[in-house]
Amino acid sequence: MLSPELLDLLRCPACKSPVVLEGERLVCETCKRKYPIRNGIPIMLIEEGDKALHEGE
């Protein structure tokens, strides 16, 4: 589980917008990229967000 303090600090690496927690992933409010959370660690790599964006997750 991500702490609210950490969530407030995290930004989408692609567009620098805030992200919101949706289940087991972080979703960018602006570009809609989805970043997975694995073993409690957010994987904030543009490639990971691009994969989810193009797969229509």
> Mind listing the pLDDT tens digit of every residue in the chain (57 residues)?
789 999 999 999 999 999 999 999 999 999 999 999 999 999 999 988 877 767 665
Q: What is the C-alpha to C-alpha distance for residues 35 and 19, in angstroms, rounded to an integer?
A: 9
R_g of the chain, CA atoms, integer Å? 10
CA 30, 33, 35 angle in degrees (round to 5)? 125
Q: What is the C-alpha to C-alpha distance for residues 40 and 56, in angstroms, rounded to an integer?
A: 23
For residue 44, give both structure tokens.
Answer: 């904030």
Q: What is the pLDDT of residue 51?
A: 72
**Which listed CATH number (3.20.20.80, 2.20.25.10, 3.40.50.720, 3.10.310.30) goes with 4-55?**
2.20.25.10
